[in-house]
A and B are shown apart, each in its own frame.
Chain A
Amino acid sequence: MSNKTVDDYLTKQLIEGNIVTFRSLSRHLSLHVNVAKNELAKFYRKSSDGGQSAVVATFLLSGQSAPRRDEDEMEVDERSVEDDFSETRAPETRIVIVGEKEVDGARAAFLKLNTIHVYSLSPSGIRDASHLCDLTDKLRLIDGEKPEMAKVAGRVVSENIKVCGPAFSLLRRHNDVYTAKSTQRWQSTRRPTIAGPSNAKASEPKEQPKETAEVKAKEEATKAKPKATGKLDFSKATTKANKEKMKEEAEKNKKVVVKEETPEPRSKEKAMAEKREELFRSKSLKRKSQAVMLSESEDEKEGTSKRASEAKSNVRVKKRAILSDDEEDEAPPPPKSRKASGKAKAPEVDADLQAMMDVDDDQVERVSEQKPAATEQTEEETDPVDDDVQMDDIPPVQKKKRKTKKEVPRGRNGLRKKRVVKSRMTTDAKGYMVTEDYSEYESVDEEEPEPAPTKGKEKTPKEAKGTGSASTSKASKPKAPEKTASKASVSAKSKTGDSAKGGQKGISAFFTKPKGK
């Protein structure tokens, strides 16, 4: 580091009235601490030779302290006169910070002075030593962000310590947050997940742009938001997954698309306009992921999706009504994401990556199911689509907005928790007993039917139960039951009966409220 930069830096800091310690200098200019100490000394000498009084130094003295019996706790006590100092004293190294005016006095207290160096420079004398600590937080941050700085600055790090520790913990925290969110909400998660992975891993961001470009080119009108999430997931999947996997997925996607056409019509019928946006997001996300995975499949999908969209212009409305259903559909992914987060905690980044990849794969499949619907919707709906497109341009902002929306926590089994009204008695500030009703999320048994009553339209809990994984089946009901054979059959049934909220197969349908709500 040239003297010039150091001088400039010091001059600037001092003019601004800041304290510069050897540590802050070494961190900011990537110097070894000993070099930084010398630079401070040089600067100090220069400025004091020049007669400027603008720089005041504090010094650090270290050495062997002189035994000062009188000054020490060792009081003049007959009993303590025993030469038993071995028990109350040990060879002592003294490390003292002093202002420049006190240096000489402090020196006298040392039996042998090992070192004296400039600890800090400041524009004026430091009265309150705590000012020397003001910089510590920043330095800690720097040390955390740049583990390599330890070597540069000359910290002596034990071999036991894994340098990745702090940095990784930060990274991990981000991931955890994102994954957690994703589990809770598809929509919200998608955006955050995108941001998290992109930050963490360079490979992902690269993939994203390509994918996004393709998608946009093909479907300009479609929403950007969902794409982003899908892309992320997909990118992970691609990175991890073998080519074979990708192929398989692509095939699945194609199949799914075909099947999807059928389910969509009923969904359209049922769906209300209220929650369209959410559906859009989820579907669009799925679509995006497909696009990412296989460009070939995308073409086919598009075709299918177009058909679907053509078939039902109402899709959006229906979907909104179904929103709750959609959410259920989404439920399956969350468990996966949780796994991912759990793995992410593991110390090794590789494990995290793998875990995330796994999750993504699963998600991708689902996405494929939902995709067709999303595409249809997007194409059909002009206005919303436009909005979405704009959103694409500025994806991060949109994501944030949506995050704020309601979140339905998921239970351990990945199912959405249901809201239960309870009452509790409390003693209020005035000492009265107050009974208040409150609602609370309660986890749902996998075997139990999902809480259909809230919106109750098309969920048809029966179907969900029938399939092995309740979450997936539920999700599939409204939109795309196609994946598994059983689901497909179910979907077919639902399609047939769907005109009047689907042909209810069980008595439960009679207890659910009509959609109109």
Chain B
Amino acid sequence: MTIDFDLLPEPSTSKEPVKRAVTTIIPTTSDSKSASSSKKTSSTSTDLPNLPSFRIDKAHRSYKHQYSNIYFVRLRILRQYVEESAKKRWADVPGNPLYVPRVLEIVKTKLCWIVGTVYMDMPLKPNILEDISREHGLPPLPPANYSSISDKIMLEDESGRILLQGDLIQTLINEDSAERTGTNANVSGLVTGVILAALGKETQNGEFEVVDLCYGGMPPQPSLEASKDEDEMDVDNQPDASSSSEEKDTDTWIAFVSGLSINEPSPADVSTQLLIEYLSGEAAGLDDQVSTSRISRLVIAGDSLASMVVTGKGEADADGIKRSIKEKKEMVGTKIARGRKYGYDSTTFSPHPTRALSAHLLDLGRVMPVHILPGEHDPAGTILPQQPFPRGMFGDVSAFPTFSSETNPTWVRLSAPSPSPSKQDITRTFLVHSGQPVNDMFKYLPSPASSSTRVRAKLDLAESSLRWRHIAPTAPDTLWCHPYFDRDPFILEQTPDIYAIGGQESFGTRLVEEFEDEDIKRCRIVLLPSFAKTGTLVLVNMRTLGVKTVKFAVKGMTGDGQDVEIADETVKKEEPEAEPRMRSPDSPDSIPDSSNPASQMY
């Protein structure tokens, strides 16, 4: 059997070797002295405002504060923006609505608008008060989805709470007869912690009948002016950045990957190796190699290591001997049994995943700058913002100054030389996180049936969070976060150019635009699917904000190839069972959720 294929063009020695595109990091905080040095490199970057840092320094590494401070600060800061945009939006509303600064001071039956924090009262949502009042035992794992028929949406401020009602807020959906009951749909996709303005009037029952909602709107985009010229051209010609027609060979790309899930004891994943070979420009033909060389850096958005599975089976006793369950029963009460080390089994513990990961990182770090974020399943703290991995744990690659260990939500500002020398450098601001905020918000919504609608729902959420000016409103309610005292770092003070979200089940992207006066704020939202499941690498064009994907797979072989194929199958499988009925606990969203407490135990 012969297979016809052409030989690759041999590299000619005279020709200059392919050069990788280079981007430089522009410091995002003022405290770094390099701000002045960056002036020289790009004149546009200096006037860019600082970005919040998610690093928790020693002085603030205290857990003694109450979480209420976060809500307080959030409302105080965001209220002004919401008021501003609400005034603009409702200026011409007939009836001249009145702004009531305190929720409880509403005048009945008079049209008015109020500003406050959304609180979702959901019976299925874990409730800290219930946990505390529970005397015995651990609470059951929270369900994969909190939405239920008896959800209530309220708006609260310093003074009190008021129940929101109206078609805009929720609709009673009577689904097919197959459904048990209707569902209170959260029409506007609200989640706890969002600051918004609601226009309406109080009913006789003391509820607030909502006519319209207003958010703060997308924050300013400072890099706008910097890249205005280019943007205008590009936007005009190419409103849909996903079409590749406009992309040029000289464009600089940034690669994003999430969920490598380096997993012990299975051997090194071929897809991962292919990924590395692709990124280093070794795999595939000359064309691919040239296009790879335009990828200037790689961002790994969380879940680099597979979550550790804790089983009671392999538990070793105090004497280090594994026994069967039967034997253990017989030994109950003995000293050996009492000294049992739960959750840790020295016979099955292996440092292999970390080592494998650092080996891969070393391969990658040798060819391009790498940013790595901790994620939900990584061996890092579970509360947001997750602090950077200690560099030392990655061995040799930590010697590279170009290897950056980042916090979980992280801001990165990059500048790439413009293709045409006459223009200024392209500066883009990236906001990257490993997906927890979006995944958590997703639990507040009635679960969409199909994967494509799920993707869209998550894109909606991501887009909303830009308009809410807050990337993680559900913290600290259902998303664990650090008890900040005097600030809320998740407030968006500016719109990123690229908002990349890791830890997603499938790929999705959307270009969000908001017109304000003559400016267009544009943000490219990218959902990064798990690499282990989908083998997908996402590339984002620095200039056009266009998106490409590269998919790695193995066919016709078992072993690691299985990972990919099995993943595809599971995706297919879950569709039928995800028909519009109440979410079953084994639906895909339950996976991160249920593993959360487990990882938390470490």
Task: List A residues at the B interface (Cβ < 8 Å).
Answer: 22-23, 26, 32-35, 37-38, 41-42, 45, 48, 57-60, 62, 65, 73-75, 77, 79-80, 84, 86-106, 114-117, 126-133, 136-137, 140, 143-144, 150-151, 153-162, 165-166, 168-170, 172, 347, 429-431
CB-based nearest A residue for B459 = A87
CB within 8 A of B551: which of A41, A65, A144?
A65
| Stretch of B61-69, B193-201, B288-296, B439-447 on the interface side | B288-296
The answer to whether B282 has its CB under 8 Å from any CB of chain A is: yes
The reply to whether the CB of B220 lies closer than 8 angstroms to some CB of chain A is: no
Task: State which of B3-11, B46-54, B182-190, B430-438 sits at the interface with chain A.
Answer: B3-11
Check if B368 sits within 8 Å of A158, measured CB to CB.
Answer: yes
Q: How far is the CA of A65 from the CA of B547 in the complex (A)?
A: 15
Closest 10 CB pairs of A and B: A115-B285, A156-B281, A128-B559, A169-B399, A102-B556, A133-B268, A430-B335, A130-B267, A129-B557, A80-B452
Question: B455 contacts which of A48, A88, A140, A158 (Cβ < 8 Å)?
Answer: A88
A514 to B172, CA, bound (A): 95
A101 in contact with B1 (CB, 8 Å) = yes
A97–B554 contact, CB under 8 A? yes
B230 on interface, CB distance cutoff 8 Å: no
Q: Is the CB of A127 within 8 A of B283?
A: no
Having A80-B452, A161-B366, one finds 20 other A-B pairs with CB under 8 Å, namely: A32-B10, A38-B10, A41-B5, A57-B3, A65-B551, A77-B453, A87-B459, A88-B455, A88-B456, A105-B555, A105-B556, A129-B270, A129-B558, A133-B273, A140-B363, A144-B366, A158-B297, A160-B22, A160-B24, A431-B338
With the chains together, A431 CA to B402 CA distance in Å?
50
A140 and B274 within 8 A (CB): no
Residue in B18, B396, B558, B572 with the greatest tally of chain A CB atoms within 10 Å: B396
Interchain CA distance A156-B5 in the complex, whole Å:
25
- Contacting pair A160 B450 (CB below 8 A): no
Chain B nearest CB, measured from A29 CB (Å) = 15
Q: Tell me the bound Cα distance from A94 to B271 in angstroms.
A: 12
Q: Which of B10, B18, B338, B509 contacts A87 (CB 8 A)?
A: B509
Q: Does B20 contact A (CB under 8 A)?
A: yes
* CA gap between A388 and B278 in the complex, in Å: 57
Partner among A80, A90, A158 whose Cβ is within 8 Å of the Cβ of B509: A90
Is A80 a contact partner of B450 (Cβ separation < 8 A)? Answer: yes
- Once A60-B283, A158-B20 are accepted as A-B contacts, the answer to whether A99 and B509 lie under 8 Å apart by CB is no
Q: Determine whether B553 belongs to the interface, using a CB cutoff of 8 Å to chain A.
A: yes
What are 7 residue pairs bridging A and B, where the CB atoms are less than 8 Å apart in the complex?
A80-B452, A87-B459, A90-B507, A96-B553, A116-B3, A116-B6, A154-B18
User: Are A62 and B268 in contact, with the CB atoms below 8 A?
Assistant: no
Known: A60-B283, A77-B449. A103 touches B3 (CB 8 A): yes
Residue contact B282 to A153, C-beta cutoff 8 Å: yes
Contact of B270 among A94, A132, A160 (CB under 8 A): A132
Contact A62 B284, beta carbon cutoff 8 Å = yes
Q: Are B281 and A155 in contact (CB under 8 A)?
A: yes
Q: Which of B18, B449, B559 has the most CB of A within 10 A?
A: B559
Most chain A beta carbons < 10 A, residue from B269, B277, B282, B397 = B282
B242, B277, B287, B362, most chain A CB atoms within 10 A: B277
Given contacts A77-B449, A90-B547, A429-B319, are A115 and B556 in contact (CB under 8 A)?
no
Report yes or no: A91 in contact with B548, Cβ–Cβ below 8 A. Answer: yes
Known: A130-B270, A162-B400. Contact between A48 and B2, CB under 8 A? yes
Q: A102-B556, A132-B273 are in contact. Are A158 and B22 (CB under 8 A)?
A: yes
Given known contacts A114-B284, A166-B362, is B459 in contact with A431 (CB within 8 Å)? no
- Who on chain A is nearest to B294 by CB? A156
Residues of B within 8 A of A143 (CB): 363, 366
Complex contact B282–A429 (CB within 8 A) = no
Question: Are B359 and A100 touching (Cβ within 8 A)?
Answer: no
Nearest A-chain residue to B576, judged by Cβ: A75
Contact A161 B367 (CB under 8 A): yes
Cross-chain contact A117 with B5 (CB below 8 angstroms): yes
For A86, what are the chain B residues with a Cβ–Cβ distance below 8 Å? 240, 242, 509
Shortest C-beta distance, A27 to chain B (Å), equals: 10
Query: Is B19 an interface residue, CB under 8 A from the partner?
Result: yes
Give the residue of A62, A92, A102, A153 whose beta carbon is less than 8 angstroms from that of B288. A62
Which B residues are in CB contact (< 8 Å) with A103?
Answer: 3
CB-nearest residue of chain B relative to A169?
B399
Cβ of B381 under 8 Å from chain A: no
Encode B142-181 as 1/0 by CB contact (under 8 A) with A: 0000000000000000000000000000000000000000
Of B2, B286, B366, B506, the residue contacting A73 (CB under 8 A) is B506
Bound together, the chains give a CA A132 to CA B397 distance in angstroms of 23
Q: Is B95 an interface residue (CB 8 A)?
A: no
Interface residues of B in 473-497 (CB under 8 A from A): none
Question: Contact between A157 and B367 (Cβ–Cβ < 8 Å)?
Answer: yes
Least CB distance from A83 to B in Å reads 12
Q: Which residues of A contact B126 (CB under 8 A)?
A: none
